[in-house]
Amino acid sequence: MPEQPHTHLSKVEDGVVRIAWTSDLTARGWQAAVDVVRREVAAALVHHHRVEAKVRAGDDTAQRIATWSGLRREGVERRRDGDLVVYARLSDDAALNEPGGFRALLNSFLPRKRAIAQMLIRDDAAGRDAEPRVLLCRLTYKADWDLPGGVVEVNESPQLAVGREVTEELGLTVEPGRLLLTDWMPPWGGWDDAVGLVFDGGAHPESLIDAVVPQEREIRSAAFCTLDEVDELAADFTARRIRAALASLAGTGTTYTESGR
C-alpha cells in the first residue's frame, strides 16, 4: 500500500494556498518534519505567491516546524475554540540562506516589547531649593494623572517620540534631554508588559502652563504638581516612577526600576 501523504495543500484564494501536516509527520521529530514541509512550501511557491499555515497557539512543535520551514509569523487569529498562530511565506521573500532573509524570519517571531516614552518637566522653583513640582497631565481616558508622553511608534526613536508626544498632547516644544530612568512595567489591567523611558524635560517657568494647548481627545488639562499632589492624583506606580526619576536627576538614585521600585 502506498504511503499516505504527510502534508496537504488547500486553496484559500487565487494564488494563495494553506499547508497542513499530519501528526505522524510530527511524530518523526520536528527536524525531519521541517525537511518535508520546507520542500512542499518551496514547490507550492512555484505556482502560488503565498503559502500560509495556521497552527494552534499552544502547539510549540507545530510552531517550530512552521518557523524553520521558512514561514514568517504574522499574528494570532483569535477563535472561541482556541487561538491560531498565522505563518506565511511569499514567493518574493528573500531566501533563508541570505542574511536578510534569515534575519527577517527571526524578526517575525522573536519577542517584541512595547516602549512608552515620557518626559519629566519641572518648574524652575526647584532650582531655588523648593520642593520640585512636576508637570502632570489629566487624561480623558483614565482617572489617574500621568507624565506627558506616549507609546513609541514602530521604527521611531524613543527620544524623538517623547518630543513628538509632548508637542501633540500639549502644544509645547520641549527638547528632550538625557534619559533619566528605564522602568519596566509588568502586565497590568489588560496591557502586556512594557518598558517606560523617562527623559529629562528641564526646568521651566510656571508660565509654561499658559502655553499649553491640550489635545482634546486625550488631555483635559495640565498642571505643575507637588510630590504630595503626585501621590494623590497619579497611580502608585507612576508616583514611584516620578520619584525615582527625580532621584536619578539628582544623582542619588538608580537609573533602572521595575514598576518604579
Domain boundaries, the chain: 7-109, 114-258
pLDDT for the residue numbered 126? 55
- What's the CA gap between 191 and 38, in Å, rounded? 36
CA angle 211, 216, 218 (to 5 degrees): 105
For the ranges 3-12, 59-68, 173-182, 252-261, which has the lowest average pLDDT?
Answer: 3-12
Q: Could you count the other beta carbons within 10 Å of the beta carbon of residue 4? A: 7
- What's the CA gap between 199 and 244, in Å, rounded? 12
How large is the average pLDDT for residues 165-182?
97
- What's the CA gap between 99 and 255, in Å, rounded? 36
Farthest-apart Cα atoms in the chain, separation: 91
Q: What is the pLDDT of residues 91-142, one digit of tens each?
A: 999 999 999 999 999 999 999 999 999 999 999 875 556 788 999 999 999 9
- Fold match flag (7-109 vs 114-258): no
Q: What is the pLDDT of residues 53-68, one digit of tens each?
A: 999 999 999 999 999 9
CA angle 208, 213, 217 (to 5 degrees): 140
Q: What is the pLDDT of residues 180-234, one digit of tens each?
A: 999 999 998 888 999 999 999 999 999 999 999 999 999 999 999 999 999 999 9
Q: Does domain 7-109 have CATH number 2.60.40.420?
A: no
DSSP string, 93-159: SPPTTSHHHHHHHHHHHS---EEEEEEEEEEGGGGGTSPP-EEEEEESS-SSEE-SEEEPPTT--HH
Among 2.40.30.10, 2.60.40.10, 3.90.79.10, 3.30.413.10, what is the CATH number of 114-258?
3.90.79.10
